[in-house]
Amino acid sequence: MATYLLRRLLATLPVLLLTSIIVFLLMRLLPGDPINMYIGQAQADVSEEMIAQLRRDHGLDQPLPVQYAVWIGKVLAGDLGRSILSPQPVLDILAPRILPTVQISLIAWLLAVAFALPVGIMSATRPDSWADRAGTVGALIGAAMPYFLVGGLLIYFVALEWRLLPASGFVSPFVDPWASLRTSLLPAVTLSFGLAAVIVRQSRSSFIDVLQQAYIKTARAKGLAEDKVILRHAFKNAMLPVVTIMGIQLATLFSGSIVTETIFAVPGVGRLLVSAILGRDYPVVQAVVLFITLVVVFANLAVDLAYGFLDPRTRQG
C-alpha cells in the first residue's frame, strides 16, 4: 500500500508542473498591468522611476522564463511570494481563506451524498414508481438550476422572508460553532443541489445495471431479503462509478465556491481568486490555483483508495 501511494503521489508531479506553467502563462496573457492597477488603487502620482522600481521589486522586469523559474523555486522552498496589491505574504492571505471554503464544501458534499444515495437506490429498486419519477424530475431540476439562481432564491426566502438563517458572512467554528454552522448552511445547500442531482442519476443507473446481473438473481432465488441483496451483494459493485463521480464532484466544489462565496459574501478561496484575478495579483492567483489543483489530485487519490476497498481485484492489481 505504501508503494502504491508513493507511486500515485509521484505521478501527480507532472500534473502540478503543467498546471503551474499554464496558470503562469495565462495570467501574463490577460490584459492589464498589475503595477498600474496597484498605483491606481493608491490614487497617487508616481514617477516613472518608482514604477520601474516596483517592477524590479516584484521581478516583473525579467523575461518570462526567468520569472517562472524564480517563482517555482520559491514555491518548492515553501515561499508563495508576496502579493502585488498588498504588502502581505501570499501564504498569510490564503491560509485564513481555506477554512470557510473547506467547511462549506464538505458540508455540501455530505448533504448531497446523504440525500442523493438513498434517492438513487430507491429509484433503482422501484423503477417507474412515483418515487422513481419524483427522484428523476428532482435530479433534472437540480442539474438545470445554476448556483446564482439557487443562492438567490435561498437568500430571498430562507434569510429575508422567513429569517431562519443569515444571508451572508462566515463565523469560524473556533469562535462560535453554532453560528458557524448557521452561516455555512445556505452556501452549502446551494452547492449541494447540482452535486446531488448528478449522484442521483449516476447511482440510479449504476444500481439498475447491477441489479440485473445473474448473481443478484441467484441471491434473490435463494430467498434473501431485498435489503440484504442490495447491501451485501449489489452495493459495492454499484458504488464503483458513483464513487468516481463523488470524488470528482468533491474537487469541483471549489470551482462552484467561486460563485457561491461571491453571492453569500463568504471570505473564502473562491472569492479571493475572483478579487485577485480582477486585480491581476499574479502571486495570489497562482497560489490559489495550485491549492485547488492539490485538492483535485488528492480527491482522485482518495477515489483510487476507495476502489481498493470496494473491489479487492483493484487492490491486487
Residue 224 has pLDDT above 70, yes or no: yes
pLDDT band at 306 (very low <50, low <70, confident <90, very high): confident
Q: What's the mean pLDDT in 189-196?
A: 91
Q: What is the pLDDT of residues 145-181, one digit of tens each?
A: 888 899 999 999 999 999 999 999 999 999 999 999 9
In this prediction, residue 43 carries a pLDDT of 61
Q: What's the mean pLDDT in 110-129?
A: 91
State how far the Cα of 154 lies from the Cα of 194, in Å rounded to an integer.
15
Residue type (1 letter), 245: I
| Least confident span in 11-20, 39-48, 163-172, 278-287 | 39-48
CA 200 → CA 47, 105, 117, 181, 306, distances in Å? Answer: 60, 18, 6, 25, 19
37: its cell numbers: 492597477
Of 67, 62, 101, 90, residue with least CA distance to 285: 90
State how far the Cα of 300 lies from the Cα of 257, in Å rounded to an integer.
19
pLDDT band at 317 (very low <50, low <70, confident <90, very high): low
In this prediction, residue 127 carries a pLDDT of 86
- SS3 for 238-283 is HHHHHHHHHHHHHHHHHHHHHHHHHHCCCCCHHHHHHHHHHCCCHH
Q: Mention every residue, 6+ apart, whose C-beta is less than 8 A from residue 119.
A: 135, 138, 139, 200
pLDDT band at 302 (very low <50, low <70, confident <90, very high): confident
* Radius of gyration over every alpha carbon of the chain, rounded to an integer in angstroms: 24
Contact 48, 96 (CB under 8 A): no
The separation between the first and the last C-alpha atoms of the chain, rounded to the nearest angstrom, is: 11
Contact 120, 199 (CB under 8 A): yes
Q: What is the pLDDT of residues 245-260, one digit of tens each?
A: 888 787 777 766 788 9
The whole-model pTM stands at: 0.88
Q: Please report, for the chain, the start and end positions of each structural domain, with discontinuous segments joined by +.
A: 2-90, 92-316
Residue 204 has, within 13 A of its CA and on its CB side, a CA count of 25
Q: Give the 3-state secondary structure of residue 168.
A: coil
State how far the Cα of 145 lies from the Cα of 190, in Å rounded to an integer.
10
The segment with the largest mean pLDDT, out of 83-87, 177-181, 222-226, is: 177-181
Of 91, 103, 92, 90, residue with least CA distance to 253: 103
Residue 98 has pLDDT above 70, yes or no: yes
The CATH number of 92-316 is 1.10.3720.10
Which one has a higher pLDDT value, 41 or 66? Answer: 66
CA 269 → CA 180, 262, 289, distances in Å? Answer: 17, 10, 10
